[in-house]
Structure 1
Amino acid sequence: MIGYHEAVARLLEGAARCGEERVALGRAAGRILAGDIVSTLALPAFDNAAMDGVALAGDGPAARAGSCWEVASWIAAGDVPPQDDAHAWEVMTGAALPTRAATVVPLEGIERLPDARVRLRDDASPGAHIRRRGEDVREGDALLASGTMLHAAQLMLLAGVGQSEVAVARRPRVAVLATGREVVASGQALPPGGIHDATSPYLAAAIAAAGAELVHHARVGDDVPTFQSAIDAALALGVDLVLSTGAVSKGCHDFVPAALAARDAERRFHGLAMRPGKPLLAARLREGPVFVGLPGNPLSTAVGFRFLVEPLLRAWLGMPLETERRLPLSATCEKRAGLHAVLHGHLRCDGEGRLHACVAEAQASFRLLPFAQSSVWISLPADAARIEAGTRVQVHGHSHLHPPGWLPA
């Protein structure tokens, strides 16, 4: 049995981005950038008016309250600005400004006179209400780094500098094999001793949330030939990772380790000092893809996926290691020394705006309801048996791509 951090290191050994593809911006939400983005344009691309109003030239009379200006023309957004000898132009928001424009006076700051002139109600400050070329982005500016997840704000920026498509990391391709003859699909009648398959729907959602793609799913019972055929079917689909649930411990029906040995898979580890998830197994198949055998209990599956599989998916997406987040523990916790403990719970904000990590009371690996009501994972170091209230501990989102959530006090 090895430590948690060593297990992650063995899984990540040699892991690199799976590849990349170009997609239209409309299909890029939630994807991971496969390269740095450097702007080839300035943003704004030209000096323009920030408000509807009157643009005044800088070489005309002083723009003092009470001064009168003759408006030469009207410039709309999208018009080519006149380069004439006038001193004032009526402009709309976003309109390109004449080269000589030095300030824009909003409409509420002028009084219209009957002879196409305007009178200023207040002094006009030089440069007011003008968006200067390159004020937001200059040519050559670094915009987004490789490994960035693209949300709506990033897509707005890319579209604003003229990008119509972007290079993103290829999604890792994953297969899920559910073992156990007692496991039946949701919606089917339960036979005596049967249980509904809770982990497969969880993994399907968690795989997508982690930036990967589920391409194959099979229930294989406890039948080794069916298990081997399911692996072959997954390999034919070009998967990067095969996940199994259950049958990795030391019971008489825990056939996965022997089945992998029969395929000449290279075992990375079997068993780690983590709770839940202690029986987890990892190997590399002879054909190249990685195999991770997750324990069968639902919370053990969830912990194994989040804290062993997701770091691997993250590396395959070309992303850096997760940012460490620590918060004070709300109450003293006791655990078994020597085991890295992962617990579910909440972040709560007290009346003074301070966040605390709150471990949920019910932590049994078979219990689904408390986990469904949680908002974060909280991990406790292996070396201590008692972690005092106030100790800063690591907190994690339910997915590596989503930060921890919090609840008001």
Structure 2
Amino acid sequence: MIEYADALQRMLACATALPVETVPLEQAAGRVLAREVSSPQCLPPFDNSAMDGFALRCDGAPMAAGTELEVQGWQAAGDAASEGGQGAWEIMTGARMPDGLDSVIPVEQVRIVAAIDGRPQRIELLKDVTPGQHVRLRGQDVRTGEVLLEAGSTLALNACTLLHATGVGQVEVRAQPRVAVIATGKELVSDAAQALEVGQIRDSNRPYLVGRLQAAGAAVVWQGVVGDDVDAFNAALQSALDAGAQLVLSTGAVSQGRYDFIPEALRARGATIHFHKVAIRPGKPLLFARLPDGPLYFGLPGNPVSAAVGQRFFVEPVLRRLLGMAAEATLQLPLRADVRKPPGLRFHARARVELGADGQLSARVLAGQESFRLMSMLQANAWVVLDGDDEMARAGTPVQVQGWGHRDPVRLAAMEVS
């Protein structure tokens, strides 16, 4: 049995960043940038009005209420450049400022002195105008050449929106890690609607892992369920490899029981087992191996939370390395209450980050930490990691807090006031 830090180093030593590929922006959502992206243009690309109203020339000096001006023209969003002259221009929100004009007064702050066919011809200012007011300047948001996103950034919706707005039509991203999931156990039933017979359970691990892997940035290329049978397992593993899997996750059959056949099945295929059993809870029997020709194999225990811990704290760091991402940052927050922990083991606890009446954040480890319990996973919004030889972590002790997934920050919207 090895320590988690040792296990992590052994895994990361087997992983290098995947190749770079260029994809259209509309296909890049959720992908990870391989190169930084700089803006090819300014944003806004031209001076424009922030209000419906009238564009004026202040020339750096305030314009007093009561001033009357002739209306020289009209400018709507999408109109070409115009020469502004000395008067006022009726202008719509987002319209390009006529050349030479530098300020906008909202339509509510003028009186129409004269109009023809509904078009203002002369206006009176009802309020003073400050030079530059209500004008969005060219490049005020983004400058040409400014770095928008660093390599290793995830292209979430806001990032893709900014790239689209600045004219970036394609991006260089890391290839997605290709992953397969094999659930083992003759007791497993895949169809959630199927009635269970005596001794059967539903294979909740498989859909959970598939969803978490996709959220983590991987492409799931194969998934399936096999019984406690070496031949069926080997056939499933070969199907996963034939589908191009670079990482294979299995659940169950890695402990020391009669039907825990996976370690020997892997050795028979020529796999190199880098470790089997880690000083953690839950999930101690976890296995990590490298298959011939390079695919990485994670043998996760079968209990649901043990499998979740294996995916979160073993598979996801490797995915980050494959995606060219930096090591994950963690939070340090005080414990809300005392927590009993297994001495000498790294304990991964389902927890809630909460906002107290004093306005301070803290982490509350949930009741029901047994590895078969699913309800606490529903209630949790974070993981708390407790390490060391002590049997008790005391209230107020700063502890490591991580989001449910490596790309899932602790969600403040889910915090409770207590």
Q: How does 1:198-277 map to 2 (within 5 A)?
A: 198-277=204-283
261-270 vs 183-192, which moves further: 183-192
Label 1:251 to 1:52 Cα distance change in 2 as closer, same or farther (>3 A).
same
Contact 2:70 2:88 in 1 (8 A): yes
CA distance in 2, matches of 1:216, 1:61: 68
Between 336-345 and 370-379, report the one with greater CA deviation: 370-379
Indicate the larger mover: 68-77 or 12-21: 12-21
Instruction: Please say if residues 60 and 87 of structure 1, whose CA atoms lie closer than 8 Å, have aligned partners that are also in contact.
Output: no
2:382 is aligned to 376
Task: Work out the CA distance in 2 between the residues paired with 1:278 and 1:326.
Answer: 25
Find out whether 1:91 has 2:96 as its counterpart: no
d(CA) in 2 for partners of 1:98, 1:14: 60
Q: How much has 1:61 moved relative to structure 2?
A: 9.3
Q: Which range moved further: 184-193 or 271-280? A: 184-193
Across the aligned residues of Structure 1 and Structure 2, the Cα RMSD in angstroms comes to 1.9
Q: How does 1:109-188 map to 2 (within 5 A)?
A: 109-114=109-114, 116-185=121-190, 186-188=192-194
SS of equivalent residue, structure 1 residue 208: helix
Cα displacement (A) at 1:201: 1.6
Shift of residue 28, structure 1, vs aligned partner: 2.8
What's the counterpart of residue 360 of structure 2? Answer: 354
Distance in 1 between the 2:60 and 2:282 partners? 76
Cα offset, 1:59, TM superposition: 5.4
Q: What is the alpha-carbon distance in structure 1 between the residues aligned to residue 60 and residue 352 of structure 2?
A: 63
DSSP-derived class of the 2:368 partner? coil
**Structure 1 residues 356 and 100: CA distance shift in structure 2, 3 A:** same
CA distance in 2, matches of 1:211, 1:93: 39
- What is the SS of the residue equivalent to 1:300? helix
Q: State the shift of 1:96 in Å.
A: 1.2
- Whether the 8 Å contact between 2:61 and 2:131 is mirrored in structure 1 is no
Q: Does 1:393 find its partner at 2:399?
A: yes
Which stretch shifts more, 86-95 or 240-249? Answer: 86-95
Does the residue aligned with 2:180 lie in a helix, a strand or coil?
strand
Please say if residues 279 and 345 of structure 2, whose CA atoms lie closer than 8 Å, have aligned partners that are also in contact. Answer: yes
Percent identical pairs in the alignment equals 46
The one-letter amino acid of 2:35's match is G
The answer to whether 1:301 aligns with 2:301 is no
Q: 1:69 matched to which residue of 2?
A: 69
Letter in 1 for 2:127: D
Give the Cα–Cα distance (whole angstroms) in 1 for the partners of residues 388 and 211 of structure 2: 29
Aligned to 2:8: 8
How far off its partner does 1:197 sit?
A: 1.5
Provide the TM-score with structure 1 as the length reference: 0.95
Aligned to 1:407: 415
- How far apart, in 1, do the equivalents of 2:59 and 2:234 lie? 83
SS of the aligned residue for 2:114 comes to coil
Q: Deviations over 1:325-375 (max 9, x none)?
A: 121101111212210000112122122322221111111111222222322
Q: TM-score, normalised by structure 2?
A: 0.93
Residue type at the aligned position of 2:416 = P
How many residue pairs get aligned? The number is: 409
Q: Measure how far apart 1:84 and its partner are.
A: 5.5
Between stretches 233-242 and 362-371, larger displacement belongs to 362-371
The aligned amino acid for 2:2 is I
CA distance in structure 1 between the aligned counterparts of 2:16 and 2:122, rounded to whole angstroms: 67
Distance in 1 separating the partners of 2:60 and 2:9: 69
User: In the alignment, is residue 51 of structure 1 matched against residue 51 of structure 2?
Assistant: yes
2:257 partner SS: coil
Structure 2 SS opposite 1:205? helix
Cα deviation code 1:252-271 (max 9, x no counterpart):
22111111111111111111
Cα distance in 2 for residues equivalent to 1:296 and 1:32? 31
Alignment of 1:195 onto 2:201: yes
Moved over 6 A (4+): none
Check if 1:81 corresponds to 2:87.
no
Shift of 1:198: 1.9
8 Å contact from structure 2 (residues 40, 168) kept in 1:
no
Which residue identity lines up with residue 89 of structure 1 in the other structure?
W
Are the structure 2 counterparts of residues 279 and 103 from structure 1 closer, same or farther at C-alpha, using a change threshold of 3 Å?
Answer: same
SS of corresponding position for 1:174: strand
Gap regions ≥5 residues in structure 1: none
Aligned partners of 1:60 and 1:341: how far apart in 2? Answer: 64
CA deviation after TM superposition for structure 1 residue 42, in Å: 0.6
- CA positional deviation for 1:91: 1.3
Distance in 2, Cα, partners of 1:62 & 1:344? 60
Cα distance between partner residues in 1 of 2:331 and 2:52: 46
- 1:169–1:60 Cα change, 3 Å: closer
